């Protein structure tokens, strides 16, 4: 074998182990999901080929529509609240000197608490008989004291989203903070020399300086919003009366509670399709908006 050929072969040999693992535990199961979406299967026995019947059912399933709407609501909340909050506080914290590490740690702490623990703790806080409502009652805030945070179908989704936000925004803050510290300080100095105000510095130096991070956070937020599961499952399990049902919890219920694994696979395919669509949409918008390089 010529030395040129050897040079080409060796890198591939190093890649093969990781590639085999990836194909075995990611690609093949993903492909099997696609295949099984065409079957009527209860998750245990023999599967019966039914073509696109599962997909037809999905388009008539009112809970799927409801779940997607909830995912979109979730996405709108997460693409705004934690991003704005994280960015704003990151700007403030980045101005601090010695105390910066303290605040960074404090804000980041919720992120290291497991979703199961945080979900349970907040479920207790939101209990109308011994949670925050009792505090509101003592303070004389009768209106708030009577709110059923997780029991009222009109607000349950927002209550769970609040908890996930509480957990998530500290992470966004740290990402933005890290990115802000990478911005060349001479750019700020130059802006000041040119007479730029603080707001102009933010607009013309800080934001362009961290646009890659903003694009990354946006894309991850969009995808995670559609894949989220933990807090909803722990705090409300999709209830009350499906008011917090999202695609992931509905997929889980179909696969393991209703014994409809074939249908759950079809839902997974739709969910993945929506994520891919949103990914490309975000990429397109980011490029058009100058958030990412062409």
The residues of the shown chain that bind other proteins, judged by CB under 8 A, are 3, 6, 9-10, 13-14, 16-17, 20-21, 24, 42-46, 123, 126-129, 148-151, 153, 236-242, 253, 256-259
Tell me whether residue 192 or residue 258 sits nearer to other proteins (CB atom). 258
- Cis omega (within 30 of 0) for bond into 240: yes
For the CB of residue 253, give the shortest distance to other proteins in the complex, in Å.
8
In contact, 131 and 159? CB cutoff 8 Å: no
For the CB of residue 146, give the shortest distance to other proteins in the complex, in Å.
10
Tell me whether residue 133 or residue 213 sits nearer to other proteins (CB atom). 133
Residues in the chain: 294
Tell me whether residue 110 or residue 153 sits nearer to other proteins (CB atom). 153
Q: Structure tokens of 162?
A: 């609040």
For the CB of residue 81, give the shortest distance to other proteins in the complex, in Å.
24
For the CB of residue 16, give the shortest distance to other proteins in the complex, in Å.
5
In contact, 202 and 91? CB cutoff 8 Å: yes
Tell me whether residue 16 or residue 190 sits nearer to other proteins (CB atom). 16
Residue 284 to residue 264: CA distance in whole angstroms = 30
Distance of CA 22 to the CA centre of its chain: 23
* H or E element, residue 49: strand 48-49
In contact, 146 and 129? CB cutoff 8 Å: no
For the CB of residue 60, give the shortest distance to other proteins in the complex, in Å.
14
Q: Structure tokens of 31?
A: 């492909």
Residue 291 to residue 285: CA distance in whole angstroms = 8
Tell me whether residue 86 or residue 262 sits nearer to other proteins (CB atom). 262
């Amino acid at each position: 074998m010529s030395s040129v050929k050897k040079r080409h072969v060796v890198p591939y040999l190093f890649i093969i182990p990781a590639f085999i693992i990836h194909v075995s535990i990611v690609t093949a199961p993903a492909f099997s999901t696609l295949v099984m979406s065409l079957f009527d299967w209860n998750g245990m026995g023999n599967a019966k080929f039914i073509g696109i019947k599962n997909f037809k059912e999905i388009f008539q399933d009112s809970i799927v529509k409801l779940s997607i709407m909830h995912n979109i609501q979730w996405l709108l909340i997460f693409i705004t609240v934690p991003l704005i909050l994280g960015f704003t506080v990151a700007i403030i914290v980045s101005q601090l000197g010695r105390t910066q590490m303290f605040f960074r740690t404090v804000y980041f702490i919720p992120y290291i608490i497991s979703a199961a623990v945080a979900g349970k703790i907040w479920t207790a806080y939101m209990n109308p008989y011994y949670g925050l409502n009792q505090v509101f009652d003592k303070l004389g805030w009768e209106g708030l004291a009577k709110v059923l945070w997780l029991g009222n179908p009109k607000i349950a989704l927002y209550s769970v989203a609040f908890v996930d936000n509480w957990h998530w925004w500290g992470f966004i803050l740290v990402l933005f903070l890290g990115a802000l510290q990478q911005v060349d300080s001479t750019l700020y100095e130059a802006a000041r020399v040119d007479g730029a105000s603080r707001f102009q510095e933010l607009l013309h130096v800080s934001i362009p300086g961290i646009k890659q991070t903003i694009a990354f956070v946006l894309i991850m937020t969009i995808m995670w919003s559609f894949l989220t599961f933990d807090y909803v499952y722990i705090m409300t399990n999709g209830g009350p009366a499906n008011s917090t049902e999202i695609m992931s919890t509905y997929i889980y219920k179909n696969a393991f509670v209703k014994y409809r694994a074939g249908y759950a696979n079809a839902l997974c395919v739709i969910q993945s399709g929506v994520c891919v669509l949103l990914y490309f949409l975000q990429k397109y918008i980011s490029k058009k908006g100058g958030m990412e390089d062409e």
